[in-house]
Amino acid sequence: MQKETMRIAVLDDWQGVAKQSADWTKLQQRAEVVFFEEPFAGPDKLASALADFDIIIAMRERTKFSKELLDRLPKLRMIALTGGRTWTMDFDTLNARGIPVCHTGGEKSGAATAEIALGLLLSAARCINRGDASIRAGGFQAGVPSGDVLDGKTLGIIGLGKIGSRMARYGAALGMQVLAWSANLTVEKAAAAGARWVDKATLLAQSDAISLHLVLSERTRGVLGAQDLALMKPGAILINTSRGPLVDEAALVERLKTGKLTAGLDVFAQEPLPPDHPLRSLPNTVLTPHLGYCAREVYAQFYRESIENVLAFLDGTPTRVLNPEALGQSR
C-alpha cells in the first residue's frame, strides 16, 4: 500500500514572500507544499482550506489557532511558527492532541522593529508623510505642517527590553532625553540602558514622544487607556510598533480627533485594519501595515528555520518546540 503524501500549508497572505525567502527543495522532495498567498474570507473558508493538511507553517500571529479552528483540522500534526512567541495558539487543545508548535529565531527582528519605530517617530515629528502626499497630489509646501525638531525633546519608552533599549539609544543619538517605565523596570536597569526611570504618570506628562515596546499579555493589555492618553502633553507623539491591544484604540481615536495628539502606528487592534476604520482618515497619524519585522533578513531566517523544523519533525526529532507538553515532555 502506497504511503500517503504529507501535505504542508504555508500561510503567506501577508506579503507573499515565502517562496523567494528560502530554498524549499528538500521539503518539496518529501511532501506536497502549498502556498496560500491570499487572505481567507472568514473562519469557515480558513478551516475548509486547511482541513486536509498535516502541517501548517504560520506567519507570526496572523492566524488565530483557536479550539474552534483546531477542532476542524483533524489531520493536523504540527505547526511551524515564524518568530519566537505567540498569543494566538490554544495550547491546551494543541497539547491534548499532541501537536507541537515549533518556533524560529529572529535575531534581526528586534532591530527591524526598532527602525520602524524610529521611522514613524521622524515622520510624525517632521510631517514627512504629509509632505510626500502633497507632492504626489501635485502640490508642494502649502498645507504641510511645519513639524517639530526632536533634538532637546524628551522621549518616553514604555518597555525597556531589547527593542525598547535600542529605541532609547536612537533617542539619545537624536539628542533627546530618555525616560523609561514598565511594571518591572528598576532604576538601575533603566540607567544601564541610558534612560532615567520615572513612574508611568510622570512619563506620560513629561514626554514629547512616547514609544511602546511591551509584550502583549493580560497585564499589559490596555496599558494606555483614555485617562493615560489624557495625561500626555498637547502635541505629543505616540508610537506603537508592539501590539495594537496595548492601547485602547477607541480612546486613541477620540484623543486624535481633538488634534492634541499625533500617532505613528504599525499595529492595530484588528489586522488587517478594516477599510472603513476611522484611523485611516485622521490626518495626524502615520500608519504602516505591521511592517516592524518585515525585512528580507528576518524572512530569510523565519523560513529557513521553519523548513528545518518541519524536516526535523518528519525525521521524528522535533526541535525548537514551544510546547514540549504536547510531546509528553516538561519545560
* pLDDT score recorded for residue 61: 75
* pLDDT score recorded for residue 84: 82
> How far apart, in whole angstroms, are the C-alpha atoms of residue 70 and residue 241?
29
Spatial CA neighbour of 230 closest among 209, 213, 254, 246: 254
Domain-by-domain residue ranges, the chain?
Answer: 7-107+296-327, 109-287
> How far apart, in whole angstroms, are the C-alpha atoms of residue 61 and residue 89?
9
137 compared with 85, residue with greater pLDDT: 137
Q: Name the H helices within the chain.
A: 18-21, 25-28, 43-50, 67-70, 91-97, 109-126, 128-136, 162-173, 187-192, 200-206, 226-231, 249-257, 296-314
**At residue 328, does pLDDT exceed 90?**
no
> How far apart, in whole angstroms, are the C-alpha atoms of residue 22 and residue 13?
16
Residue 42 to residues 34, 46, 89, 98, Cα–Cα distance (Å): 19, 6, 18, 27
**At residue 144, does pLDDT exceed 70?**
yes
Per-residue pLDDT tens digits for 17-27: 999 999 999 99
- Domain 7-107+296-327 sits in which CATH superfamily? NAD(P)-binding Rossmann-like Domain (3.40.50.720)
Topology annotation, domain 109-287: Rossmann fold (3.40.50)
Per-residue pLDDT tens digits for 161-213: 999 999 999 999 999 999 999 999 999 999 999 999 999 999 999 999 999 99
85 compared with 284, residue with greater pLDDT: 284
- Give the residue-averaged pLDDT of 11-40: 92
The 3-state DSSP class for residue 148 equals coil
- Domain 7-107+296-327 shares a fold with domain 109-287: yes
* pLDDT score recorded for residue 2: 52
* pLDDT score recorded for residue 85: 79
Residue with cell 502633553: 233
Secondary structure percentages of the chain, helix, strand, coil, to 5? 35, 15, 45
Catalytically annotated residues? 243, 271, 290
